[in-house]
Amino acid sequence: MKKSEPLGNDNNGNPIPQDVFEVTSELIEEISHALRENNYEQLDYLLAPLHSSDIAIIFEQLREDERNDLTSYFGSQLNPEVLTELEDTALDQVIKEMDADHVVEAISQLESDDAVDILEDIDLEDRNRIIAALPDEERLAVEEGLSYPEDSAGRMVQKNIITVPGSWTVGQVIQFLRTEEELPPEFYEIFIVDPLHHPIGTVSLSQLIRTRDSVPVSEIMDTDPKVVPVDLDQEEVAYMFRQYDLTSMGVVDEDGRLLGMITVDDVVDVIDEEAEEDILRMAGVQETDITESIFEASKNRIVWLLVNLATAILASMVIAMFDGSIEQMVALAILMPIVASMGGNAGTQTMTVTVRSLATKDLTESNVHRVVGKEFAIAILNGVVLAVIIGLLSLAYFDNPLLGGVIAAAMIINMVMAGLAGILIPVGLDRVNIDPALASSIFVTTITDVIGFFAFLGLASVVLI
Amino acid sequence: MKKSEPLGNDNNGNPIPQDVFEVTSELIEEISHALRENNYEQLDYLLAPLHSSDIAIIFEQLREDERNDLTSYFGSQLNPEVLTELEDTALDQVIKEMDADHVVEAISQLESDDAVDILEDIDLEDRNRIIAALPDEERLAVEEGLSYPEDSAGRMVQKNIITVPGSWTVGQVIQFLRTEEELPPEFYEIFIVDPLHHPIGTVSLSQLIRTRDSVPVSEIMDTDPKVVPVDLDQEEVAYMFRQYDLTSMGVVDEDGRLLGMITVDDVVDVIDEEAEEDILRMAGVQETDITESIFEASKNRIVWLLVNLATAILASMVIAMFDGSIEQMVALAILMPIVASMGGNAGTQTMTVTVRSLATKDLTESNVHRVVGKEFAIAILNGVVLAVIIGLLSLAYFDNPLLGGVIAAAMIINMVMAGLAGILIPVGLDRVNIDPALASSIFVTTITDVIGFFAFLGLASVVLI
């Protein structure tokens, strides 16, 4: 929630659409140059017009030493909003470089959800030190936020919301909004609550503003406001916003009392984060960011590579079972990776569609049987096409019809296994509450490698050798 | 933009948080049963309380014949909002099943951006027939929307917005909002324009509502409203919303005149769509949805499989170059897939991080050199770890120190190639304006397969044979 600072307008005083993306490589270069020269005047000139989100990008794009210099340049003048936009590694570094007092002051200026967002991402030691130094009211709000599970609605709650009783008229609400000092910086709806603070309705500002003063808000309110329990996973919160086209939504405690609201700008970040997490996990990469160090990144990735090494060795053991056959017919060694690799690709296709369908709740118990049948049919169709092609090519190249037949049969077997593994493994993992994006691909490719080598070399040993 | 219909409340009249997800498998089953029995009373009971978004989900989850039955059940009573939420295949089917008159009536009731959203997704023939039958004003708005490039800001523009001159006071604006009949159903800010309709500022409703009536809007407006040109790609529009935490944003034509606005609910869909597109493309799947037929799905995937078949054959040709060596030492056939497979996994990790970093604009010209250096270092680090492990295992199993050395060296070579390919290929494709998500993985895995087999078998031929 922020208001943008003034920026370049054209000669007629109109905003220039071309400055849509303000942080260019040239700008970064100029800032980096000004930092090296300690040219504070130039830095003022370059940085003053920028939105806090753009300043965050500049922090992330700079080298580590430049990032520290920029932190010193800002000193206590750093807009707290910049911190809310920084990725973890850069945030940690900036917080460490800032004066302790400035950090506390910056964080106490933020809405509670933004403060929680920053504090949950930084080193535990820094976090505890900062929280202890916060003013009482902020501290309690932050501690409450952090008491909810990571990635739950509770972590995203903005406590500062507008609640009014249903008996109030539109005029009374507007009068209240005009006189109340501690309003949230930006809001889209007001919440109507009963005496026990249960939400009984919401009125959007656009509805409020166009209704006559004398009308009670209870007459214009949406009587079925969507609310979420405070411990709901953020992925489900995002699903609600997307599904019902919301801009803000109430969050309730276990007794159904209104605790605060979640706004769409935070949900946009969650949607992005969750999609990114799925993409990265399917490729075996942990949560990462561009400012991460080489050792962290290397450590993050080696785990997955070691798991894959184990499965690659497993596949090799299958090959080793047939070493006699390969010695007699080296064509088998030449062709065997094709069967395994095509199975891997087909399995990955099905698995990816399945993981996404699960994430978007398109794949449910109602249709899973139908979708499994469909994937089976697709696997046979595509398997036959590929089998015919590779069978004919093998026949042509090795002049051996039996070899062509063996590789065609192995291809169909492996494609069908790939299709079934591609859907059944993620669905099965999802049922036992393991993130299908994280673990599916290792199982799927292990199966397609093992079955691919086994089917091809096994059939060949029986038929050809 | 929709208001939710009343739903189940608990005994105290409070909304029940547990009904967060209303479309359960049981509900689908009951609806499906009621459809089979033509039990319209039961359908009324089950469907009346549901939000249009939930009804859309039910359409998607049903079988094709049930979907047609449900369309007939609704007849002309189908809420047009349901159509805006349907995925392509289901939408096409429902539109074909509906009476032509009902379709035209439904679409003419929607905001222009929603109408465009539906029309761009359906068969060209249906589209033209419907557009021709729309009332003049709607028709022109829809035709204008469809005249902009697919996936551009122009397709998402809602033309119905609030514009006022800067000389107006807050009181005048509120008075206008209360008397004007043709307001957008939901809006979050008003646009201040000059006489030529250039946007010179925006005022959020929460700001407007808490300001005294006598204040001119020009005094409280944000004088640097973010606007986008009408031909900007939707991905860039989504980036703006995310970067600047917006809820709505003006869209201008090439002369900088305000055409309308884009609202965050549509952007949420775009973010989802674009992330999904990246995930699916990296796995070689075209845009897809759960209601797609087997033949379409099979056709969508076979192209990628054929491309992969070609690269698998290329890798086999590399193996065939060394058939003599394999005949002499079958251990090579057993070990060679390990080198290729580890390279493929490492390359995919780097490639995925790179594709995401490009999509989120974290990877730019300013830092690409640094990031390439970092990936090189990670590749060497992890390559050495894996080389030591696989070298020792090979030594232990085959009791051949030279073989252990050869596979270790080949592993390091392939890991480094994988790391470099994983970053340079997506960056290169991005430079020449090819979507890196679409084409990277085929190049990366081809390189890691070819280099993996060549390095291992080539070194082995020189050193061991």
Count of domains forming chain A: 3
B210 and A177 in contact by Cβ < 8 A? yes
Q: Are residues B204 and B301 in the same domain?
A: no
pLDDT at B11: 35
Q: Are residues A310 and A433 in the same domain?
A: yes
Residue B73 to residue B46: CA distance in whole angstroms: 13
Residue B170 to residue B203: CA distance in whole angstroms: 10
Q: Are residues A329 and A436 in the same domain?
A: yes
pLDDT at A278: 86
Q: Which residue of B has its CA nearest to A285?
A: B349
Q: Are residues A333 and A195 in the same domain?
A: no
Tell me: the pLDDT tens digits for B317-365?
Answer: 999 999 999 999 999 999 999 999 999 999 999 999 999 899 888 898 8
Which of B147, B181, B196 terminates a domain? The answer is: B147
Q: Are residues A253 and A309 in the same domain?
A: no
Which residues from chain A sit within 8 angstroms of residue B449, using beta carbons? 337, 341
pLDDT at B289: 67
> How close does chain B come to A14, measured CA to CA in Å?
6
Considering only A181-185, A287-291, A369-373, which range has the smallest mean pLDDT? A287-291
A275 and B280 in contact by Cβ < 8 A? no
Residue B47 lies in a domain: yes
CATH code, domain carrying A83: 1.25.60.10
CB nearest B305 (choices: A198, A228, A342):
A342
Which residues from chain A sit within 8 angstroms of residue B226, using beta carbons? 4, 15, 20
Residue A221 to residue B319: CA distance in whole angstroms: 71
pLDDT at A253: 95
Neighbouring C-alpha atoms within 13 Å toward the C-beta of A114: 21
Residue A215 to residue A237: CA distance in whole angstroms: 32
Mean pLDDT calculated for residue range B211-229: 93
CB atoms within 10 A of CB B142: 24
**Nearest 5°: CA angle at B62, between B60 and B63?**
115
Torsion of CA A233, A235, A237, A240, to 10 degrees: -140
Q: Over 80: is that where the pLDDT of B391 sits?
A: yes
Which residues from chain B sit within 8 angstroms of residue A226, using beta carbons? 4, 15, 20
CATH code, domain carrying A411: 1.10.357.20
Residue A155 lies in a domain: no
Considering only A269-283, B45-59, B209-223, which range has the smallest mean pLDDT? A269-283
Q: Are residues A236 and A326 in the same domain?
A: no
Q: Are residues A278 and A302 in the same domain?
A: no
Tell me: the pLDDT tens digits for A17-36?
Answer: 334 567 888 999 999 999 99
Tell me: the pLDDT tens digits for B116-171?
Answer: 999 998 888 889 999 999 999 899 999 999 999 999 999 999 999 999 999 999 99
pLDDT at B21: 64
Which residues from chain A sit within 8 angstroms of residue B232, using beta carbons? 20
Mean pLDDT calculated for residue range B376-382: 96
Mean pLDDT calculated for residue range A151-160: 93
CB B222 within 8 A of CB B229: no
Residue A348 lies in a domain: yes
**Domain limits at B333?**
294-463
Which residues from chain A sit within 8 angstroms of residue B183, using beta carbons? 206, 210
Mean pLDDT calculated for residue range A144-167: 94
Q: Where are the beta strands (DSSP E) in B97-147?
A: none
Q: Are residues B252 and B208 in the same domain?
A: yes
Q: Which residue of A has its CA nearest to B9?
A: A224
Q: Over 70: is that where the pLDDT of A167 sits?
A: yes
pLDDT at B53: 92
Alpha carbon B262 to its chain centroid, in Å, reads 17
Which of A259, A282, A305 terminates a domain? The answer is: A282
Residue B152 lies in a domain: no
**pLDDT band for position B286 (50/70/90)?**
confident
Residue A235 lies in a domain: yes
Q: Are residues A98 and A179 in the same domain?
A: no
Q: Which residue of B has its CA nearest to A211?
A: B178
Q: Are residues B313 and B456 in the same domain?
A: yes
Q: Provide the number of CB pairs (under 8 Å) joining chain A to chain B.
A: 412
pLDDT at B13: 38
Tell me: the pLDDT tens digits for A228-266?
Answer: 999 999 999 999 999 999 999 999 999 999 999 999 999
What does DSSP say about strands B189-193 and B199-204: parallel, antiparallel, or unpaired? antiparallel
Residue B217 lies in a domain: yes
**pLDDT band for position B3 (50/70/90)?**
very low
Q: Are residues A304 and A391 in the same domain?
A: yes
Considering only B71-80, B266-275, B283-292, B404-413, which range has the smallest mean pLDDT? B283-292
pLDDT at B35: 95
**pLDDT band for position A273 (50/70/90)?**
confident
Residue B287 lies in a domain: no
Which of B238, B262, B282 terminates a domain? The answer is: B282
CB nearest B205 (choices: A205, A282, A370):
A205
Residue A2 lies in a domain: no
pLDDT at B322: 97
**pLDDT band for position B20 (50/70/90)?**
low
CB nearest A365 (choices: B25, B309, B360):
B25
Mean pLDDT calculated for residue range B34-45: 94
CATH code, domain carrying B226: 3.10.580.10
Sequence-distant (6+) residues with CB within 8 A of B229 are A17, A18, A20, B153, B251, B252, B253, B254
Q: Are residues A222 and A270 in the same domain?
A: yes
